[in-house]
Chains A and B, each alone.
Chain A
Amino acid sequence: MPNKAMPNLHPVAPAAPVAPATAPRPVALELRDLTTVFPGDDGPVTVIDGVSLAVRAGGTLAVVGESGSGKSMTFLSALGLVAAPGRVRRGEVRIDGADILHQPPERLRRLRGAVISMIFQDPLTALNPVFTIGEQIVEVLRAHQRIGRAAARARAIELLARVQIPDPARRVDDYPHQLSGGQRQRVLIAMAIALSPKILIADEPTTALDVTVQAQILDLLADLQAETGMALVLITHDLGLVARYADDVAVMYAGRLVETGSMEEVFTKPRHPYTRALFRSIPRLDGPVDEELPAIEGQPPNVARLPPGCAFEPRCTVGRGRADCCTRRPLPLAGDRSGHRSACFHEDLPDRKEAIR
Chain B
Amino acid sequence: MGDEVYSDLMRELKTGKYVFTGELEPEKAGDVNEPIEMARELKGMVVACNVTDNPQSFAYVNSMAASYLIQKEAGMECVYQLRCSDRNRMALLSDVLGAGALGLKNVLALAGDHVSLGDTPDAKPVFDLDSTTLIKLIRTMVDEGKDLGGNEIHNPPKLHVGGAAAPGAAHLKAEVGKVKRKINVGVEYLQTQVVYYTDVLDKFFDELGKVDVPILVGIFPARTFGQADFFDKYVAGVDVPPDYLEAMKKTKEIKDKEKKKEEVDRVNIEFFTGFLEHLKGTPAAGCHMMAVGYPRIIPPLKKLME
* Same complex origin of A and B: no
Q: B residues bordering A, Cβ < 8 Å?
A: none
The interface of chain A, by Cβ under 8 A from chain B, is none
